[in-house]
Amino acid sequence: MALASRRRPTPLRAFASVLLAGALALTATACTSGGDKGGGPSFQGGSEAGDQPKATAAITAPAADAKDVPASTEISFNSKDAVETTVVVKNAAGAAVKGTLSAAGTWLPDNALEYGTTYSATVTATGDDGKPATVTSNFTTMAKPGKQIRVTSFLGDGQTVGVGMPLIVKFNQPIPKDFRDDVQRRMTVRATPAQEGIWHWVSPTEVRYRPKTYWKANTKIFYKIQAGGLPMGGGWYGRSDLTVDLKVGPAVVMTVDNKNKKMTVKKDGKVIKTIPISLGKKSTPSSSGTMVVIEKLKKTVFDTMDDPNPANRYVTDIEYAQRLTWGGEFIHAAPWSVASQGRTNVSHGCVNMSTANASWLFNQTRVGDPIVVKGTERKLENGNGWTDWNMSWGDYVKGSAIPPEAASPEATTVPSTEPTATTAG
């Protein structure tokens, strides 16, 4: 929206637990009768004693007439004794820029600002006396930088994924630790229905998001990375913003028990099939842990001729393969081991089942559906696949660039036109 507004005393309560920069601050400030031309905050409190409005407003950043401002800049402001505060940002042609108020008490453009352009920001605070206090400040954005970082998402618009699917965002240059919190604050996830979740830095070039528990079936997810023009360290800036709109399918969860050599398949909490399986033999055990389906291949070829152990070398046509780890563990059809399925382990680490069962399962699942394997000789190594669910929630939170103590079960946010809660961090 071009004109952002906040009112009190009825703030919108976010129903997701989030990691945010801070609560909305309505800070008392000193007032002067005009803008500060020395580059500091601009204040407004009225010009005549008898006509002074009760409310006051101040723009604290960017500084008045600032130059070389990043295109990602927020408008920081304070207001006192205001029933309603509005923010309007316009470009040099006088056109309003769309933006929203954040929970931290700043105005954030919906998209990166234009490079090398002068903008005006106007904050109006109105008290219960109905008299507005208005302050306007100008600033000019920097020239387009030569060093830009590209931001990409593994998932795209319109996809339907499993309930264990992490949101995966990558950068083509490493983000220094000191800048990851700034980047993370520009990464928002809106889930309908709202669910608690957090971003976790897997590496300097990759960050993922997962909810505290599996996504609820049929959840709608929108996430936005407002990286355009954002400083990312070492003179690098974000190249552009990124948005993704997708949904979650039914809750299909697979559980494999090495003790009885069976897979139990549940859909939306109900058992829909029990499948006899064969896991990895002692020399090539399957991994125990929580994995998700990474990719699905109706037909493929397993070629292990580069294995240093001659006993593990083979080339085999495979049907209905569903990858679980980067190390080569799959669910797949294995007609050659049907006699062992449900009885003994004979595979090279994969979850073997009959062709009929593999075909049936292949038609039930989506990328991102979780599978829990129990009771094998080897534990799943974190990082060997999308192992986000193999970590406890406490350990996952530690991967956030925003301190865990900043989390709040019910974070106060400013009023928004959005119908659902927004989570960040």
Mean of the pLDDT values across residues 130-141?
96
Task: Count the Cβ atoms, other than its own, within 10 Å of residue 238.
Answer: 27
Rounded-to-integer distance, Cα 283 and Cα 305, Å: 17
Q: Are strands 295-303 and 407-408 parallel, antiparallel or unpaired?
A: unpaired
Q: Are residues 129 and 177 in the same domain?
A: no
Indicate which CATH number applies to the domain containing 195: 2.60.40.3710
Q: Are residues 166 and 282 in the same domain?
A: no
185 contacts 108 by C-beta, under 8 angstroms = no
- pLDDT at position 117 is 97
Across the beta sheet with 423-424, the strand order is: 160-161, 242-248, 220-225, 187-192, 423-424
Mean of the pLDDT values across residues 17-41?
33
Mean of the pLDDT values across residues 64-69?
97
Mean of the pLDDT values across residues 189-206?
97
pLDDT at 182 over 60: yes
Q: Are residues 132 and 11 in the same domain?
A: yes
181 contacts 207 by C-beta, under 8 angstroms = no
Q: Are residues 357 and 409 in the same domain?
A: no
- pLDDT at position 415 is 29
Indicate which CATH number applies to the domain containing 72: 2.60.40.3780
What is the count of structural domains for the chain? 3
Q: Are residues 9 and 131 in the same domain?
A: yes
Mean of the pLDDT values across residues 332-347?
97
pLDDT at 5 over 70: no
Q: Which residues touch 424 (CB under 8 Å, ≥6 apart)?
A: 18, 19, 20, 21, 103, 184, 185, 187, 188, 189
Q: Which residues touch 251 (CB under 8 Å, ≥6 apart)?
A: 163, 214, 216, 217, 266, 267, 268, 269
Q: Are residues 242 and 281 in the same domain?
A: no
Mean of the pLDDT values across residues 180-198?
96
Q: Are residues 197 and 275 in the same domain?
A: no
Last residue of a domain, one of 141, 162, 177: 141
Last residue of a domain, one of 141, 173, 194: 141
- pLDDT at position 309 is 75
Residue of higher predicted confidence among 102 and 225: 225
Catalytic positions = 332, 350
Q: Are residues 245 and 259 in the same domain?
A: no
Q: What pTM does this model have?
A: 0.81
Q: Which residues touch 310 (CB under 8 Å, ≥6 apart)?
A: none
Last residue of a domain, one of 89, 114, 141: 141
Indicate which CATH number applies to the domain containing 266: 2.40.440.10
* Residue 199 lies in domain: 148-250+393-424
Identify the weakest region by mean pLDDT among 43-52, 105-114, 234-243, 310-319.
43-52
- pLDDT at position 41 is 55
Give residue 98's Cα distance to chain centre.
22
Rounded-to-integer distance, Cα 408 and Cα 395, Å: 18
What's the chain's average pLDDT? 85
Write the burial class of residue 270 (CB in 10 Å: 0-12 exposed, 13-18 middle, 19+ buried). Answer: exposed
Mean of the pLDDT values across residues 212-240?
97
Split at pLDDT 50, 70, 90, the class of 7 is very low
pLDDT at 37 over 50: no
Q: Are residues 301 and 178 in the same domain?
A: no
Q: Are residues 110 and 236 in the same domain?
A: no
By percentage, how much of the chain surpasses pLDDT 90?
A: 76
Split at pLDDT 50, 70, 90, the class of 315 is confident
Q: Are residues 360 and 412 in the same domain?
A: no
- pLDDT at position 368 is 98
Q: Are residues 199 and 312 in the same domain?
A: no
C-alpha distances out from residue 328 to 62, 223, 294, 302, 304, Å: 52, 31, 11, 9, 10
pLDDT at 71 over 90: yes
